[in-house]
């Protein structure tokens, strides 16, 4: 812990490798390369032996937390462990060596897998057609909104509003604003689901769609989802599904079966690609017959001559990014789905739901549970009652770091005060879950007996409690350069 900077370890004359000396003489070099591009001083790079270099970066990696090293119960993000076989298959030379400008005839194998992936996603969701191009979940949201916008423009209907539940992901209203729609918030009722009266009051012929997450961000299934769908469709709107929580019902039900018209998938959450740190991601969009003509270009088509990239789609909204999507992520998802098969995909969700309910039942004696009912793949606790001891959700999260666990999502969803949003996923063993339960119970007892221990956490990390607001507003950068 507390690894020093690589420049501070530098010792003049040490090398991790030796390069062959170039054979170009100084005068000849100046003829080949314009003078203004030639360096006048040596690069001020750190100088270390190979063991020192390897150990430095190894120690840095050990100061981070990730799904390969720690339990990562990040609610609403499905940070499951990802089988390494999928990484290896997607990295095969036949895939990793491709170039996006290659002729279609030379990439028939890859196009076959992309075509099959779209077909598998159609089967899982019940959607009529799937486009793989969007780069991530929010990108899939924006794509879907632009498709619906184009649909109503063709019909010459003026619709400028999008309804979003108050338990929605923050990207939903953000994407709606980006697509130039007015956002109307729909309230939750006292059992944590969409308030049907409020929805009926706000749904109108001006509404493009209702953006829902099922299960919602409280980890609860919308038991009145068919009535929700009827209300939306009665006014000629679309029901959009944020697919971030698809891990909760794979193989159990399909979005199309409960009225969804358009949705995005999070391949980097549900279908096994490591995500975090800004990427990588993939947010394919699936659409009903009515909307499928508007999917972005290109789709992968198939005819008697093989597979091809279909650009002949007059109603399409066009490209949403360069080339054909994040291919490596899509390939990993294909491997994951095919390896598990239909029955095991259902088992994924059943295990995720079981794990979440196990944690919920064990922890509700120690933390407030705003909605005490069977949850799906995640649940939300509240640290509201801990505030009388001067402890907040943030403090609990920091203390968990000391105990070897990445903290859950905090302060989300916004409708729960001091929220702790926990998603164990299906990949964690009972032993891991029990260890997490013990850590959470320990923290609850510390809050009662020695609250300062939690308020001042973390105590064992490379750095202690940071002034996060000041760090964001007044960043300080230090550059180690021997020339300056």
Residue 202 lies in a domain: yes
For residues 217 and 319, state if they share a domain: yes
Q: What is the dihedral of CA 269, 274, 277, 283, to 10 degrees?
A: -40
The interaxial angle of helices 327-363 and 430-449, nearest 10 deg, is 50
pLDDT digits (tens, 9 = 90+) for 301-332: 999 999 999 999 999 999 999 888 899 999 99
pLDDT at 227: 98
Residue 362 sits at φ, ψ, to 5 deg, of -75, -30
Instruction: Name which of 120, 131, 83 is nearest 318 in CA terms.
Output: 131
Q: According to the model, what pLDDT value does residue 277 have?
A: 60
Asked whether 327 and 95 are in contact (CB, 8 A), the reply is: yes
Looking at the structure, tell me whether residues 234 and 130 fall in a common domain: yes
Let me know the angle formed at the C-alpha of 309 by 306 and 310, rounded to the nearest 5 degrees: 105
> Which tokens belong to 443?
């923290």
Q: Are 239 and 259 in contact (CB under 8 A)?
A: yes
CB contact at 8 A, 349 and 377: yes
- Distance, in Å, from the CA atom of 241 to the CA atom of 227, rounded to the nearest integer, reads 15
Does residue 410 carry a pLDDT above 50? Answer: yes
Encode pLDDT of 45-54 as tens digits: 999 999 999 9
Q: What are phi and psi of 25, to 5 degrees?
A: -70, 160
Question: How many structural domains does the chain have?
Answer: 3
Q: Indicate the residue among 339, 362, 385 that finishes a domain.
A: 339
Q: Could you tell me if 317 and 451 lie in one domain?
A: no
Q: Report the C-alpha gap between 102 and 323 in whole angstroms.
A: 11
- Mark whether 43 and 147 lie in a shared domain: no
Q: What is the pLDDT of residue 279?
A: 64
C-alpha to C-alpha distance for 432 and 405, rounded to whole angstroms: 10
The single-letter DSSP state of residue 218 is T
Assess if residue 390 is contained within a domain.
yes
* pLDDT range class, residue 483, cuts 50, 70, 90: very low
| Same-domain status, 33 and 173 | no
**pLDDT greater than 70 at residue 389:** yes
Q: Are residues 359 and 416 in the same domain?
A: yes
Angle among Cα 125, 151, 204 to the nearest 5 degrees reads 90
Rounded to whole angstroms, the Cα distance separating 52 from 378 reads 43
Give the integer Cα–Cα distance in Å for 282 and 271. 10
Q: Is 123 among the domain residues?
A: yes
Provide the CB-side half-sphere exposure for 171 (13 A, CA): 19
Most confident of 60-64, 168-172, 274-278, 398-402: 398-402
Q: How far is CA 30 from CA 24, 26, 37, 416, in A?
A: 10, 6, 9, 67
Residue 145 lies in a domain: yes
Residue 442 has pLDDT above 70, yes or no: yes
**What's the Cα-to-Cα distance from 354 to each of 128, 357, 376, 433, rounded to whole Å?**
31, 5, 8, 11
Confidence of residue 481 (pLDDT cuts 50, 70, 90): low
Q: Which residue has the higher pLDDT, 62 or 449?
A: 449
Nearest-angstrom CA–CA distance, 134 and 148 = 16
Annotate 108-138 with three-state secondary structure.
HHHHHHHHHHHHHHHHHHCCCEEECCCCCHH
Whole-number pLDDT of residue 68:
85
More confident residue, 185 or 70: 185
Say if 75 falls within a structural domain. no
- Count Cβ neighbours within 10 Å for each residue of 304-315 and write b for 16 or more, e otherwise: eeebbeeeebee
State whether 135 and 160 are in the same domain: yes
Inside any domain, residue 480: no
The Cα–Cα gap between 16 and 18 comes to 7
Residues 394 and 360 in one domain: yes
Contact assessment for residue 162 and residue 213, using Cβ atoms and an 8 Å cutoff: no
Which residues, including other chains, have CB under 8 Å from residue 192's CB and lie 6 or more apart? 167, 216, 218, 220, 370, 371, 373
Q: What is the pLDDT of residue 276?
A: 63
- 188: three-class secondary structure by DSSP: strand
Alpha-carbon separation of residue 394 from 359, 417, 447 (angstroms): 20, 12, 13
- Looking at residues 255-259, what average pLDDT do you find? 97
Model confidence pLDDT, tens digit, residues 263-274: 999 999 999 877
DSSP 231-245: HHHHTT-EEEEEETT
Q: Which residue has the higher pLDDT, 221 or 40?
A: 221
Q: Are residues 102 and 29 in the same domain?
A: no
Evaluate if residue 390 carries a pLDDT over 50. Answer: yes
Residues 232 and 132 in one domain: yes
| Cβ burial, residue 329 (10 Å; 0-12/13-18/19+) | buried
**271 shares its domain with 188:** yes
Choose the weakest-confidence range: 62-71, 191-200, 402-411.
62-71
Decide if 78 is inside a domain. no
Is residue 255 a contact partner of residue 205, using CB atoms and an 8 Å limit? no
Q: Which residues pair with 368 in a beta bridge?
A: 382
* Banded model confidence at residue 359, pLDDT cuts 50, 70, 90: very high
- Residue written as token pair 């499928």: 292
d(CA 44, CA 483): 7
pLDDT, averaged across the chain = 92
- Which span out of 14-18, 42-46, 341-345, 472-476 was modeled with the highest average pLDDT? 341-345
In a domain, 408, yes or no: yes
CATH number at 134 reads 3.40.640.10
Which pLDDT score is estimated for 445?
98
| Strands lying side by side in the sheet with 161-165 | 129-131, 285-287, 262-265, 238-243, 207-213, 161-165, 182-186
Range of the domain at 54: 6-62
What is the enclosing helix (H) or strand (E) of 325?
A: none
Do 137 and 266 share a domain, yes or no? yes
> Over the stretch 79-103, which tens digit does the pLDDT of each residue have?
888 889 998 999 999 999 999 899 9
Beta bridge mates, 185? 164
How many other C-beta atoms are found inside a 10 Å radius of the C-beta of residue 245? Answer: 26
Domain end marker among 309, 339, 369: 339
Per-residue model confidence (pLDDT) at position 158: 95
**% pLDDT > 90, the chain:** 79
Strand partners, 129: 287
pLDDT tens track for 4-31? 899 999 999 998 888 787 777 666 777 8
Q: In 3-state terms, what secondary structure has residue 208?
A: strand
458-468, pLDDT tens digit by residue? Answer: 998 888 888 88
Q: How many CB atoms lie within 10 A of CB 268?
A: 26
Range with the poorest average pLDDT among 13-17, 48-52, 230-234, 382-386: 13-17
């Amino acid at each position: 812990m507390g690894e020093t900077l690589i420049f501070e370890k530098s010792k003049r004359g040490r090398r991790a490798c030796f390069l062959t000396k170039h054979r170009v003489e100084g005068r000849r070099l100046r003829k080949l390369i314009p003078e203004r591009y030639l360096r006048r001083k040596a690069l001020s790079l750190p100088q270390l032996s190979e063991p020192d270099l390897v150990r430095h970066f190894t120690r840095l990696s050990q100061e981070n937390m990730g799904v390969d090293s720690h339990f990562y119960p990040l609610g609403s993000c499905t940070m499951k462990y990802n089988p390494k076989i999928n990484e290896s298959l997607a990295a095969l030379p036949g895939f990793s060596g491709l170039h996006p400008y290659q002729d279609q005839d030379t990439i028939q194998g890859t196009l076959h897998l992309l075509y099959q992936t779209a077909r598998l996603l159609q089967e899982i969701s019940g959607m009529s057609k799937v486009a793989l191009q969007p780069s991530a979940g929010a990108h899939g949201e924006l794509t879907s909104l632009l498709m619906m916008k184009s649909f109503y423009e063709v019909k010459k209907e003026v619709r400028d509003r999008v309804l979003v539940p108050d338990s929605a992901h923050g990207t939903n209203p953000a994407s709606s604003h980006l697509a130039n729609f007015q956002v109307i918030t729909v309230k939750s009722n006292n059992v944590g689901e969409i308030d049907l009266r409020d929805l009926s009051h706000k749904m109108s012929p001006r509404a493009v769609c209702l953006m829902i997450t099922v299960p919602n961000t409280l980890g609860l299934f919308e038991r009145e989802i068919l009535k929700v769908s009827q209300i939306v469709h009665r006014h000629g709107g679309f029901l959009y599904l944020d697919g971030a929580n698809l891990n909760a019902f794979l193989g159990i039900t399909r979005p199309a079966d409960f009225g969804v018209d358009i949705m995005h998938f999070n391949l980097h959450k549900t279908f096994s690609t490591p995500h975090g740190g800004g990427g990588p991601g993939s947010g394919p969009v699936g659409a009903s017959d009515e909307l499928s003509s508007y999917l972005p270009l290109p789709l992968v088509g198939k005819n008697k001559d093989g597979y091809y990239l279909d650009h002949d789609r007059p109603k399409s909204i066009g490209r949403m990014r360069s080339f054909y999507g994040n291919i490596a992520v899509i390939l990993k998802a294909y491997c994951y789905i095919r390896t598990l098969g239909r029955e095991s995909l259902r088992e994924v969700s059943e295990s995720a739901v079981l794990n979440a309910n196990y944690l919920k039942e064990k922890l509700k004696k120690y933390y407030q549970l705003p909605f005490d009912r069977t949850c799906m793949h995640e649940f939300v606790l509240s640290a509201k009652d801990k505030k009388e001891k001067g402890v907040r959700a943030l403090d609990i999260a920091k203390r968990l770091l000391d105990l070897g666990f990445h903290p859950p999502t905090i302060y989300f969803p916004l409708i729960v005060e001091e929220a702790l949003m926990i998603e164990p996923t299906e990949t964690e063993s009972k032993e891991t879950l029990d260890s997490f339960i013990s850590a959470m119970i320990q923290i609850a007892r510390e809050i009662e007996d020695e609250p300062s221990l939690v308020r001042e956490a973390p105590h064992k990390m490379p750095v202690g409690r940071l002034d996060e607001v000041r760090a964001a507003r007044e960043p300080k950068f230090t550059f180690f350069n021997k020339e300056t």
